[in-house]
Every structure is written in structure tokens, then in C-alpha cells.
């Protein structure tokens, strides 16, 4: 069971997905269709493999992702987003829209 630092729903959410990598991993799975460790390790932002392994394990433990063996190669695992993980897609979209609005210069 997860230990949370407070009863605040926002703080609890941040305990689950508030680090700098978790939402990017979910982005790559939900929006770009990446499913394997190898695919995810090549994300544009340059995640270290040990960090990726830790975050994937956390996401599976939190039931935001499932982890299954590849049918063709038992050494490869596929990570897929769950319904609980899909519920975060609007959060990703809102962050994306906010960032596009406030963090990019407008070109005339």
C-alpha cells in the first residue's frame, strides 16, 4: 500500500505521478504507442534506464500500466495503459495545452 504524505487529493496525486518522468512515460505509451522498455528508453528527453525501470515498476504497482510478456520473445515485456491510467489522459492534454499557450513564443 502506498504511503501518502497528506490527505490532500492534489498531494496524493503528485505522490503517484508528480515526478518529472512519469507523465512523459504515460505520454509515450498513450499518444505514441510505445510499449516496450527499449522503445520507451529512446524518449526525446533522455531518461536513464534505471530511472525508467523504477518508474515503470511504480506505474505497474499503481495499476496505471500492465506488464505482459511478448508472445514472440519472453525476454521482452509490453507495457499497456489501464483504464486507471487512461483517466490521466485529460490531465496530459491540459498540461499540453497550457504549455503551448504559456511556454512558447508566439510568432507573428
**pLDDT tens-digit profile, the chain (108 residues):** 678 889 999 999 998 889 999 999 999 999 999 999 999 999 999 999 999 999 999 999 999 999 999 999 999 999 999 999 999 999 999 999 999 999 997 766
Cα 88 to chain center, whole Å? Answer: 9
Answer whether residue 78 is part of any domain.
yes
**Residue 91, pLDDT score:** 95
Question: Model-level pTM?
Answer: 0.89
Answer whether residue 33 is part of any domain.
yes
Answer whether residue 29 is part of any domain.
yes
- Residue 30: strand, helix, or coil: helix
- Domain count within the chain: 1
Among 32, 97, 31, 85, which residue's Cα sits nearest to residue 56? Answer: 85
Q: What is the CATH number of the domain that holds 23?
A: 1.10.10.10
**Residue 107, pLDDT score:** 67
Supply the range of the domain harboring residue 50.
9-102
Answer whether residue 3 is part of any domain.
no
Amino acid at each position: 500500500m502506498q504511503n501518502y504524505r497528506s490527505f490532500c487529493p492534489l498531494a496524493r496525486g503528485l505522490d503517484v505521478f508528480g515526478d518529472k518522468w512519469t507523465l512523459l512515460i504515460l505520454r509515450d505509451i498513450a499518444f505514441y504507442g510505445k510499449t516496450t522498455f527499449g522503445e520507451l528508453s529512446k524518449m526525446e528527453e533522455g531518461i536513464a534506464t534505471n530511472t525508467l525501470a523504477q518508474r515503470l515498476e511504480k506505474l505497474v504497482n499503481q495499476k496505471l500500466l500492465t506488464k505482459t510478456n511478448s508472445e514472440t520473445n519472453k525476454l521482452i515485456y509490453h507495457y499497456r495503459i489501464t483504464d486507471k491510467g487512461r483517466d490521466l489522459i485529460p490531465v496530459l492534454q491540459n498540461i499540453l495545452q497550457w504549455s503551448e499557450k504559456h511556454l512558447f513564443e508566439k510568432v507573428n
